[in-house]
Each structure stands twice: as C-alpha cells, then as structure tokens.
Amino acid sequence: MTAKNNVLINYKDMNHTNSFGIIRGLQFASFVVQYYGLVLDLLVLGLRRATHGFRDKSSNPFFSRFSADEARDLIQRYLTEHPDPNNENIVGYNNKKCWPRDARMRLMKHDVNLGRAVFWDIKVYFIING
C-alpha cells in the first residue's frame, strides 16, 4: 500500500533523505478501502442483487444523459426562447477555475449552448412543478 521511493542525497558529511512513501500510501488508501467495500458488498448481496440496484430505470432523474438528437432538440428549444444571433452566449459563461486547465470545460459554442439549455430546462421544470 505504500511506495518506497526514498531518495538519499549525500555530500561530504551531509545527508538528506527525501521520502515519498507515506504520502503516496495515504493517497492510495482510500481507493483500497473503497475497493474492498465494493468486493464485500458483491459477496454479501450476490451479483444479481448488486446489479439490480443500479439499472438505468432506477438512476437519479436529476442527472441527464442525452443522445446527439436529444441534445440538438434541447438546444433548438432553448435558442427559440432565447435567440443568440451574434453567438454571445459564450461570453460570460461561468467556467470553474478550481479544475486544472486541461480538465475544464472547453468553451465551444455547442457545449455552452447545451449547458445553458440544460440549466434553462431544469429551471423551467422547477418553476412549473413548484
């Protein structure tokens, strides 16, 4: 569970040990615990009951997964309500800076329009259903 990557630097009568083992071990420990918990759940429940709880029909209705056609239709409904002839939707779109640069959302026209359309759809849903 721990990595033994200790680096020893010796110069004349000075020694320095740069040890990485405990940090990497602690970062890996949560994965090991979650993995053993998953294996234990599968052993206790059995494979049939474990897969029964995670079917598509019982997924959280708040999260959405769109096909290309559904995404295009949702964007079209949003753009009919909020037209954007000059592509100004991209300007001012909130892109979280807490993520590393390579993991952030790319501010492409389709992605921004889809993000705004999903937010608009959820907002309309909660206004109608109270």
Residue-wise pLDDT tens digits, 35-62? 888 888 788 877 777 666 666 555 556 6
Domain ranges of the chain: 7-56, 60-129
Joined tokens for residue 50: 């474990």
Residue-wise pLDDT tens digits, 62-113? 667 789 999 999 999 999 999 988 888 888 888 777 777 777 777 888 889 9
Instruction: Name the nearest CA neighbour of 75 among 102, 103, 108.
Output: 108
| CB of 42 closer than 8 Å to CB of 50 | yes
Name the pTM for this structure.
0.50
**Torsion-angle region of 11 (φ positive above 0: left; ψ -120 to 50: alpha; else: beta):** beta
